[in-house]
Every structure is written in C-alpha cells, then in structure tokens.
Structure 1
Amino acid sequence: MTSAEFTPPSRKQRVRTLWISDVHLGTRDCQAEHLSQFLKGYHADKVYLVGDIIDGWKLRGGMYWPQAHTNVIRRLLTMAKRGTEVIYVTGNHDEFLRRYSTLILGNIQLVDEAVHITADGRHLLVIHGDQFDVITRYHRWLAFLGDSAYEFTLTLNRWLNHWRARYGYGYWSLSAYLKHKVKTAVSFISDFEEAIAHEVTKRELHGVVCGHIHHAEIRKVGEVDYLNCGDWVESCTALIEHWDGHIELYRLDDAQAKEAQLKAEMITN
C-alpha cells in the first residue's frame, strides 16, 4: 500500500469518537502516512489512543523516527488544540508512560484505562489489554521473544508485498494470515477475548474497547460488546462512534476499494 492510493474525504466528517491502537511509532512497519490521512478526514469530540502508540521497546534498541511519525503526533496535537479531547491509554510497548498516568495537559489526558459512555448509553471499558495477556504478564521474556518473531514476520511480509506489487498483486498480510491459520494463535486470541470479557462482566459494564493483539473485531462475547481497534502496522483499522452511538469498524482496505469504485463510477458517468 502507498499513501497515494487513498484520498481522504475533502470535507472532514463529524463523528463523536475515534479509537486507534497499536500504531507502533518508532518502527519501520508503522503505517504512519495512512494514519495521518485517516485523522485528517475526521473531526471528533474524543480520540482514544488505546496503547502501543509509541514503541518504547523498539526505541530502546536504536532510534528510528522519520518525519511521517512526527506528522502523526503533530496531527493529534492539532486536533487537541482545536477542541478534540485526546485520551492516551497506556499499553505495554509504551509502558514507560504509566508512571505519568494521571497527567493532564489541556485537552490531552494520560491514563491506564477509562470508561467511555456511548451516545446510546453503553458503558465501555477502554483498556489496551496487555493486562489480560498471560504471556505479557507472567512470562516477560517470552513476550520479547514473541515480539522479535513478529517483527521477523513483518520483515518477510514487507519483502513479499514488494514482489507482489511488482507483479500486479494487491497487499496481503502474512502475519494476519498466520493468526487465522495457526491453531495456537487462534486459541490465544480466543483466550484473550474471554479473559477481558470476564473482567467487563465483573465490573458490570456493557463492553470493552481494546487493542494489543492486532486483530480488529466487533462481536459479542457472551453478553459483552467486544470491540478491538486492530492496529496501524498490518491492517490499518480503527473504531468510529457516530452520533447515534453506533460504532463502526474502519478498514483502510475497504476505504480504498470504495474510493476506487467511486472514481470508476465518475469516469464512467
């Protein structure tokens, strides 16, 4: 995917809330250009950054910070300056911020978790989700090992899509494919969803908005509304709350396909 493939709406769409997670600024696989374009297309009352926005794990090993990553930060600061409430929920890759998790700077808040009330009255826990990942909590060395393996998969993915593009094929995510096909990965996602849904039930809330596992989804887990933002590394996804409380799962691939269809219709007409 290239930034030239997607053109945002010429007018900003007014929405109630945006949720994004797992941007991983500071890594080579962060799709910062796409995120900047996405944010430019909306005016929101609230934006929740649901963890792993900055990848502190990766930055410890060496500095990688191109202009596109700065542009994302600048876009968020501009939104806050113009009245959007920006709520940064800390994650495990940006856990260095958890020591400041009561910080408020104008329209920007830093928290470990929050409760969001939708326009239709639902109370949603907003949390990154690493607290419900057994590997991250109790086997930290395995988490780092898994992160390295994931990074290797993304590197393979980058080369694979380079050659696919040369032969006229579209973008395809190897890591997303493996998540759906490898039995242990499917089991991990299911266990994560069940654990976080149990916590929501215990707190007597209606649902949860989370990230962490890079698997965007809106579904029911029992009686709990489970909403996962996904990521801006592989799938480029976000959650959007409209003014009636309806929450939509945004996918860049779908937006690009719709844009291409509209352009084709305009040419035909």
Structure 2
Amino acid sequence: DLESGAYRHLSRGNRNVQGIVVDRSDRIWAVEHGPRGGDELNLIRPGGNYGWPLATLGTRYNTLPWPTARQLGRHDDFDGPFFAWVPSIGISNVLQIQGFHPSWDGDLLVSSLMAQSLFRLRIRDEKVLFVEPIEIRDRIRYAHQHSDGRIALWVSNARLIWVTPSETPSALAHVEALIEGADVSEARRADMRTTLQTCLECHALEPGDDQAGPNLGDVFGRRVASTAFAEYSSALRGRTGRWFEDELRAFLSDPQSYAPGTTMPGASLSEEQVDDLVDLLRRLNEPE
C-alpha cells in the first residue's frame, strides 16, 4: 500500500520476474526467466510457491542439471507454471490486450528477446488454448498498449515498432469479393467457390506462403517453379516462361501431361471450371 506502507508476501519461489499484469478478471499473471530453458507464465495466487530454486524446467548454463532441483523438470511439490517455453524465448514482459481487435481482445501478449517474437496466448477455463508466435525479427525489451489501442514495442537500439490491425482485407476476403462481383449466375459462383476450396487444400493464397505448395496469390505472371516450394518436379524445374492464361489452362487441365512427375494431382476440372479459375487467378494479381 503506497499510502500506508503496509505490505504482504503474495507468492514465493519466483526466480526473475520480468512482467506482471492484472487482467480484467483480477487475476495476476507474471512472466519470468528460467535459467537455461523454462521461461514461465505463472498465474499468481496468494500464498503460492512456484518452486525456485528447488524446481525448474531449465538447466545450468553448461547444460548440467540445476544443482538444487529436487526432481528434474518437475514441479510436483510446488505450484507449476501455467505455461512454459522450452527452450527459452528470453521472455521480457506480458500484457492483456484490450481494444485492439475483436480477434485479439482479452488475450495475453508476451514479448521476448532471444526469440525476437511476440506470443499471443488465448486463455480459456484457466487453460492455454493456443500460443501463436508472431515473428518481429528484433529483440523486444518491452511491449505496451497505448490508450488508442495500438501496441508499442520497444526494441533494440531504443527503437519503437507500432503494431496496428491491418486495414487490408485478407486474401480470402479479396477472392470472395472477386467471386461475388463476377458477372455469372449464382450457381456458377458457387461452383467457383468449390473449385477454389479444392485448390486451397494444398495451396495458400498469401504470397510467400509456399510450404505445402506454391502459393496462388501471385501465381499469375510468375516464373514457373520460382517459389520457395521444395517439392517441384524436375519437369517443372526444367520449364521456362511464366504462368499466363495458356500455361495455366494446360497445367490445370492435365498436370501430368504438362509436367510429368509433378506432385499436383489431376482435379478433373471442366473447361468452364478451368477458365473461371484462371480468370480468378488473373484478377487476384491485378492492382486494386
């Protein structure tokens, strides 16, 4: 109490607390460094004992077991962490998001130094539902939500990075708008959506997302076999040129004839479906 000077011990067994936040349900959350591994998010309860130095998920910096730990990697005799990062992320602080975006509001946001990332945690029924890593590519010393809703990141070299909701519609929303605006019957629009959904089982719409298959977001006009996708067939790698109407129609109509050995399965598309898909890919790559 800042006025009376009265105080009490709320918890013990905390090692190196980097951030504390009281959420809108009056729960107290704290993040702390583990020694080498085992950075922790703890839900602080009055009288809680979180184990340090008798319990940790980390080790000594020479990789040997922590000398005072009663049991390696366990908190059986103590209040265990609500969530832990192994290996360490170099945790820095924590905040609860409010008034940023409906899809984020209420979540916890944890910042990090070594991982150079934010981590968004959804808490439900006092369990971590998911942890989303968000790469920043800079050491984040502190994260703070401004009164206008923006999130400020204090990073290396005393710089500020502002995080704001994107005003650009998602690629899927953009495609849906293109389909909705097509001068065709409603039944044909529905068929276009079905065809596209088949493609999205393996391909992403966002440019640069080529892990499962080459992305479709900027395929029109792109050089053949030029993305970071690792599983191109030798036939596709040996082709020159770019994906324009004729090349796309030939490939979509019969992938194996166009590029023998390709991992792309035949989708048994009708001529109309191929035409609609090629037109959609063309319009997707046009400037808005």
Same structural fold, with TM-score higher than 0.5 when normalized by the shorter chain = no
Larger radius of gyration: 2
Q: Which has the higher contact order (CA 8 A, sep 6+)?
A: 1
State the TM-score, normalized to the length of structure 2. 0.21
TM-score by length of 1: 0.22
